[in-house]
Amino acid sequence: MRFAFRRTPDRPLDTLAPVLHDVRAVVFDTDGVITDSVKVHAAAWKVAFDGFLIAHPPEDPGRRRPFDEQDDYLRHVDGKSRLDGAEAFLTARGIEASAETVRAVAADKERLFTERLREHGVEAYPGTVRLVKALRAAGVPRAAASASRHAGELLSRAGVLGLFDVLVDGGEAARLGLAGKPEPDLFLEAVRRLGVSAGRAAVVEDALAGVEAGRRGGFALVVGVDRAAGADTGARLLRHGADIVVRDLGELCAGGAPQ
């Protein structure tokens, strides 16, 4: 841990795990951390990518396999903007796609995701809601940050938008020219709006690019959320920059035991 400050003694911290007692602000990623929307994103990417691979098969037969909603999602698109994610996956399949092609694949994914979002909606993870409310009770400012332009709609539909003091979404990132993850720009803008330095704040992320961004940004604490619970998914998060990894954010409330 890289804490170099002392907590304010009059804050009601009894509902938070000790690892959060010195944190002055917390920035939460949205997809997979606050809302259960990763499956919707992954399903939309799969339809978009698989359709493209069928129409434009890579020269190497070994790279013609369909998009994997867990492994490919985590490696190439999780936590990134649509354009960066589309380009990363196509490159991994040996496809030198033009900017126009990347935009077309990303637009197809956007259409598919929007259709699914309107039809089914999303829910917030109960453990995350519990933690955010505990932070609010302790007077710790909270921000939601996401590369997605849908972040505000997702949080609103899940009924949790009002729990956050600040939202920095993909639209704001584009307007401000913020670099995408693994660069820390999105998170640094969030803590700037909260009035807290990165060295006194925590980042909560489920994406490899996201925990790396937290590390690069000099955040005091980087929490990795391992929803996949795969054989090495937690270890990957640690290798990319997480200080601790939890399966559910309720573990960071009093009585939890983050590993």
How many C-alpha atoms does 58 have within 13 Å on its Cβ side? Answer: 19
Catalytic residue among 10, 14, 22, 31: 31
According to DSSP, residue 218 is labeled T
- 203 forms beta bridges with 27, 222
Q: Which residue has the tokens 């992320």?
A: 205
Closest CA to 69 of 90, 93, 38, 94: 38
Q: Are 204 and 26 in contact (CB under 8 A)?
A: yes
Cα separation, 236 vs 74, in Å, equals: 10
- d(C-alpha 165, C-alpha 172), whole Å: 15
Q: 94: Cβ–Cβ under 8 A, 6 or more apart, which residues? A: 58, 59, 60, 63
- 31 among known catalytic residues: yes
CB 29 within 8 A of CB 204: yes
Options 22, 29, 78, 243, the catalytic residue? 29
Question: Which value, in Å, is the radius of gyration of the alpha carbons in the chain?
Answer: 18
> Which residues lie closer than 8 Å to 135 by C-beta, 6 or more apart?
16, 20, 26, 142
Catalytic residue numbers, as ranges = 29, 31
